[in-house]
Amino acid sequence: MGTALGLYTIRIKGRLGATALSAFPSMVPQLNANETVLTGWLEDRSALFGVLAQIEALDLQLLELRRIRAEPQSPQSGDE
């Protein structure tokens, strides 16, 4: 089973306030009219499941989870 390392966007129904957003310190929020989009790098499956657990614990409605990029691009890739 592969790791979940990647850049993710997570759409949540409703506009989250500062207190709810503080539960997701590694994610960058974008507040839209009727939803909040969290974007950020999650380093492994545990981090991904931790964010999903926070969403559930806060009784938020998850609209979409999408991995945008599988891993950060390294400037050292292919240099050797």
**Domains in the chain with CATH codes:** 6-69 (3.30.70)
pTM: 0.81
Tens of pLDDT, residues 1-53:
556 689 999 999 999 999 999 999 999 999 999 999 999 999 999 999 999 99
CA dist., res. 45 & res. 61, Å (int): 21
Strand ordering across the sheet containing 62-69: 28-31, 35-42, 6-13, 62-69
